[in-house]
Structure 1
Amino acid sequence: MISTHTGRMRVNAYHFRDTWLLSSPVRTVFDAVTDVAGYPRWWPDVREVTRVDDDTAQLVCRAVLPYALVIRMRRAEEDRDTGRMRVHLTGDLEGSLAATALQLPGGTRLEITQQVIATKPLLRTLSPLARPVFRANHALMMRRGWRGLESHLSATGAR
């Protein structure tokens, strides 16, 4: 997994770029990542997923810090042929998450970009001081998601 953080923005705005290298085929990775209801099976920090409608799910996420984020993800793009997906985020984080699954020899590179504004009052209040801690919490959550997905796909024989 490769993770970078870019740009200078408002203190409660965040831009994250992560790359997950996975040993499963691109279509298998795409199907797992677009199956939001299945996240709790492999991503330990996604504690709960509730379907709102055909294009929207509500997630409760918590990594190591003592708070949970409640986020609604609404599908904006999902193209299995190109490996591109994008969702709009509302709730404790407002913004977007986009990902592209690209075939590599022997696996897949999943490129993930998130642009969000923290709207949860606790995060807005603490962002000026705790921004590095929030970034570290995000990085840990993404690392555990990458490891969880790789393990899940390996265990299900998705090669």
Structure 2
Amino acid sequence: MDWCLYRFRSRWDLDAPPAAVYAALADGDAYPRWWPQVREVRRLDDRSGAARFRSLVPYDLHVTVGQARQEPADGVLEATVSGDLEGWVRWTVTARGTGTRALFEQEVVVRKPLLRRLALPGRPVFRANHALMMRAGRRGLRAHLAAPPPGSAGPGGPSGGNAV
């Protein structure tokens, strides 16, 4: 078994239409606004970007993300990752009842030297760290999707209300 290989799968059930969920997930530049562990995103060109993320374990991961597949009609977003992690990540967005299910799948090999050295003893901690990151991402996306669009009229919006 390659102790540096990780496969992750997470389902997020969201109370928003599939098109809105897909649009939010496709907007990689906005991830730091709603996903606390995505600390920084920098666009490199039209199809790639650099990202830095960190969860509870005190280390940063730096990756380059390249668009591999973007099919709104099928609800599929797929990207390659390289750098501290190497592999792929995929979102599949489908209607579920009155909302949406977003399925996250990832297969990566850890390339960061320290994490490779700690692969065997650290594996349960790294998996738990990833689970916490995914839980925070789901909460953040739910809040992001529920928030009124910027500049919309409503409580605290341009038409009045209690602005902070």
Matched letter for residue 101 of structure 2 = R
Aligned partners of 1:124 and 1:105: how far apart in 2? 42
Aligned to 1:63: 55
Aligned to 1:133: 125
Question: Deviation at 1:156?
Answer: 2.8
Unaligned runs of 5+ in 2: 150-164
Does 2:32 align with 1:32? no
Question: Deviation at 1:155?
Answer: 1.1
Matched letter for residue 27 of structure 1 = A
- Structure number with larger C-alpha Rg: 2
Question: Once the two structures are superposed, what CA deviation does each residue of 1:6-59 show, in whole Å capped at 9, x if it has no partner?
Answer: xxx410000001001110100100000010000011000000000011010111
Question: Once the two structures are superposed, what CA deviation does each residue of 1:64-113 show, in whole Å capped at 9, x if it has no partner?
Answer: 11100001110000011110110000010000001100011211000111
Matched letter for residue 7 of structure 2 = H
Matched letter for residue 141 of structure 2 = L
- Percent of pairs with identical residues: 44
Aligned to 1:108: 100
Does 2:69 align with 1:97? no
Question: Once the two structures are superposed, what CA deviation does each residue of 1:106-144 show, in whole Å capped at 9, x if it has no partner?
Answer: 110001110000000111010110000000000000110
Provide the aligned length of Structure 1 versus Structure 2.
149
Matched letter for residue 83 of structure 2 = G
- Three-state SS of the structure 2 residue aligned to 1:81 is coil
**Correspondent of 1:80 among 72, 78, 86:** 72
Unaligned runs of 5+ in 1: 1-8
